[in-house]
Copies of this chain bind each other. A is one copy, B any other.
Amino acid sequence: MASSIHDLARHLNISIGTVSRALNGRADVNADTRQRVLEAARTLNYSPNQSGRSLRQGATHSIAFMLQPHPGDQQYGEPFFIPFLIGLQARLAESGLDLTVVMGAPGDYQQERLRRVVETRRADAVLLAWTRREDERIDYLTQAGFPFATLGRSRSGTKSYPSLDLDFEKAGADAVDRLVARGHRRIAAVRPSLDLNFGYLFLAGYRKALRRHGIEVDPELIASGFINEAGGYEVTPQVMRSKAPPTAIIFNNDAMALGGCKALAEMGIRPGHDMAVTVIVDTPLCRYFSPALTAFRPALEPMGQRLAEMLLASLPAFAGPEGPRIIREVWPLELVARDSD
């Protein structure tokens, strides 16, 4: 059905070697024959067989994105990633790479799936999301010498991999600054209990900003729970029971904020009136919730594009003339002021 390089060669009465060289733009082929080959390729509707190329070159021409729902993630989890994936795939496609997604059941750490991808060489590189503070996946990949990049930072590994992260520290600080400027002094923070790295970064920014404003950090105002609605619902009352309850709460996650608001409502506390509420990572839910939640928004699709570029730049086969480079970037989150603070 599909025509092969042999068909082209037979059709033009030249050898398959020449056809291949012409197709791959090598120098040692006559400009004229190259033209003829390219033309024949078009008319015969030729497109190279990926398996053949992969086998010969030892490369699969595909990147695996490991999407790892965390424990307690609810039915519609991870809408966060769709625009990111769109950007990612667009950029990868430009370089002729496929994007294969590997998901797991919520709570599954995916170590096993990751090993399978690596050992069967089903992808040329791997993309990790939801990086943890200590991330065994990163340790494994560096130790195995397998190329990868991460969405998010981690303390693991030798930092010799590309990574793109959001500046949760600055967002945490900005959130505090804004609330302080609006007269708040008792500001609570609700973050995920897992060792997801962005939770640490957020908290660091939160602490730093409070101190900068001469406000003592009150441990009673910091709570952590499962990173879902139930988690927010469960731990928000904790900070409200503190000796000096907060007048503002910063949630590190939209789902936790939603659960938190539910808990507040049950206590007769109205976000936006009796309590200022800020969310660090904006999602459509923040926008449509009532009251609309003030949140910090990431540029997801550009991030996907950029991370693809950074990953490619680190791969010898795709790096530019200066050779492979390791790029690490931290992107800002943009404040979207709404009605909840």
Residues of A within 8 A of B (CB): 2, 45, 47-52, 54-55, 60, 62, 69, 75-79, 81-83, 85-86, 89-90, 93, 98-103, 105, 113, 116, 119-122, 258, 283-285, 288-290, 300-301
Given contacts A101-B99, A285-B285, contact A49 B121 (CB under 8 A): yes
Instruction: Give chain B residues whose Cβ lies under 8 Å from the Cβ of A103.
Output: 85-86, 89-90
- Given the known interface contacts A62-B100, A283-B76, the answer about A47 and B90 at a Cβ–Cβ threshold of 8 Å is no
Contact A300 B75 (CB under 8 A): yes
Chain B: minimal CB distance from A271 (Å) = 11
Q: How many copies does the complex hold?
A: 2
A176→B52 CA distance, assembly (Å): 56
Q: Which of B52, B93, B100, B119 contacts A98 (CB 8 A)?
A: B100
With a cutoff of 8 Å between Cβ atoms, the chain B residues found around residue A288 in the complex are: 258, 285, 288-289
Q: Which residue of B lies closest to A292 (CB)?
A: B290
- Contact residues in B for A90 (Cβ distance below 8 Å): 103, 105
Query: Can you report 10 residue pairs joining A to B where beta carbons are below 8 Å apart?
Result: A50-B120, A50-B121, A50-B122, A76-B82, A76-B284, A79-B79, A81-B82, A90-B103, A99-B102, A258-B288
Question: A55 contacts which of B55, B79, B81, B116 (Cβ < 8 Å)?
Answer: B55
A-B contacts besides A48-B120, A77-B83, A86-B105, 5 pairs, CB < 8 Å: A50-B54, A50-B121, A62-B100, A89-B101, A93-B113
Which residues on B sit within 8 Å (CB–CB) of A81? 82
Closest 3 CB pairs of A and B: A290-B290, A79-B79, A51-B54
Bound CA span A87–B99, Å: 18
Asked whether B60 lies within 8 Å of A120 as measured between CB atoms, the reply is: no
A122 (CB) vs chain B CBs: closest residue: B50
Complex-state Cα separation, A62 to B54, whole angstroms:
14
Contacts of A119 in B (CB 8 A): 2, 45, 47
How far is B258's CA from A128's CA once the two chains are assembled, in angstroms? 33
